[in-house]
Amino acid sequence: MKIRILAAAAAVLLSGAAHAQFQKPEDAVKYRQSAFTVLGAHFSRIGAMAQGRVPFDAKVAQENAAIVATMSKLPWAGFTPDTEKIKSRTKPEAWMEMDKVRAGADKMVKAIADLEAATRTGSLDAVKKSFGDAAATCKACHDAYRE
């Protein structure tokens, strides 16, 4: 438990410094893509429980939600202006509407924090509702800004 908390704290602290540490724009793209990949993998595990594809396990849901909550704060450092022209799944509109992208990111971070809190209740119904709300924030951004 202590290791997970220390790892999460380190990830949050290092995310702010990540922007300054990107050697090349390609590194920033890899960073954000990697953060989204890890986030998505753990989010999907909660989704499988919320959708009844696997049995609900409150402890597993909590563990995955803690990782998702940490990861949700990280990708945004990789959306640097010098990455706009690099081939990725980000639509050109994202760069013209970065304020909206950041607002969507803030909504997602909050919805995921709510999901994490719901997993701590041990209630599948609470997890289902919060998962749906969090998934909707992801979908909104994907629909608008992801190819």
Residues within the annotated binding site for heme c? Answer: 138, 141-142
42 pairs with which residues across the strands? none
- CB atoms < 10 A from the CB of 11, how many? 17
Annotated binding-site members? 138, 141-142
Strands annotated E in 46-144 = none
Only one residue has tokens 């994202």, namely 94
Determine phi and psi for 86, rounding to 5 degrees: -80, 135
CA distances from 18 to 14, 21, 34, 64, 93 (A): 6, 5, 13, 23, 24
